[in-house]
């Protein structure tokens, strides 16, 4: 009997990304990965991104599902909704990536290979391991903020992850169940930190593979002061709301 390849679902939250979404689907299709699906989680985008996603679901080059949400309540909530849907629909591997083209689709085969051939519970596309980089177009203050955020998070939570705020990840479905993804409450970029923290708390391995993080070319950044404030507070909340994390196993 011919074996069925694992179902890989790429969860892509969107808000006003009608220009970028078709490009992402085309890039993903070009990878030629068997049994790959895309799940778009659209937060009622006023620019019609949801309608674009529905059209891709009909005539796109790979299977595209759409989860229409009626409220815009943050990146973390969108990811939790999308990951939960992906698990309920039988995903074996869940990839999370942003819709702004900052995450290189061509890194996905290597991430999947690492997930399949090591004991990694999750693989991060990392800007800060050897071989990783950020776009030259990034202004100095964004580079400084990113470097400080990673130092800050690791100093408080002792994750020992070089890119603790990374949002490009490949998860085993069993990992998401083990960390109770439905119970994650953080939003914005703090969501990434809490997901890593839950993984480390359970003694599971985080692997990092290098990527080049690009600057968005279309659309508008969703970063706000409220997101930055939450990102500053959440590590402290995690640190004092439960047991300290077990020694983490990080491969980078």
CA distances from 239 to 100, 156, 233 (A): 31, 7, 10
pLDDT of residue 78: 95
**pTM recorded for the entire structure:** 0.87
Distance CA(84)–CA(182), nearest Å, equals: 7
Residue with tokens 């890989």: 8
Pairing mode of beta strands 93-96, 169-172:
antiparallel
pLDDT of residue 188: 72
pLDDT of residue 139: 74
Please answer whether residues 243 and 214 qualify as being in contact, where contact means their C-beta atoms are separated by less than 8 angstroms.
no
Distance CA(2)–CA(83), nearest Å, equals: 28
pLDDT of residue 62: 98
Which residue positions in the chain have pLDDT lower than 50?
Answer: 218-225, 243-250
Tokens representing 156 are 């408080």
pLDDT of residue 151: 83
In 3-state terms, the chain is what percent helix, strand and coil (to 5)?
A: 40, 20, 40
Buried b (16+ CB within 10 A) or exposed e, 173-183: bebbeebebee
Please answer whether residues 166 and 127 qualify as being in contact, where contact means their C-beta atoms are separated by less than 8 angstroms.
yes
């Amino acid at each position: 009997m011919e074996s069925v390849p694992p179902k890989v679902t790429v969860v892509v939250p969107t808000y006003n990304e009608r220009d970028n979404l078709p490009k992402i689907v085309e890039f993903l299709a070009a990878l030629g990965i068997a049994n790959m699906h895309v799940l778009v989680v659209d937060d009622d985008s006023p620019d019609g991104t949801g309608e674009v996603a529905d059209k891709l679901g009909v005539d796109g080059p790979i299977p595209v599902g759409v989860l229409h949400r009626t409220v815009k309540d943050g990146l973390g909530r969108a990811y939790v909704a999308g990951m939960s849907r992906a698990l309920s629909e039988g995903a074996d591997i869940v990839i999370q990536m942003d819709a702004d083209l900052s995450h290189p689709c061509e890194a996905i085969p290597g991430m999947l290979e690492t997930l399949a051939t090591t004991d990694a519970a999750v693989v991060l596309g990392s800007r800060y391991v050897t071989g990783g980089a950020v776009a030259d177009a990034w202004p100095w203050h964004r580079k400084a903020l990113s470097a400080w955020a990673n130092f800050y998070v690791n100093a408080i939570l002792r994750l020992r992850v070089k890119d603790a705020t990374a949002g490009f990840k490949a998860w085993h479905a069993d990992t998401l169940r083990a960390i109770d993804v439905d119970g994650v409450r953080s939003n914005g970029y703090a969501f990434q930190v809490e997901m890593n923290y839950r993984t480390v708390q359970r003694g599971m391995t985080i692997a990092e593979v290098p990527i080049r993080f690009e600057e968005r070319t279309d659309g508008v950044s969703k970063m706000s002061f409220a997101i930055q404030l939450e990102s500053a507070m959440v590590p402290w909340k995690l640190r004092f709301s439960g047991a300290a994390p077990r020694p983490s196993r990080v491969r980078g």
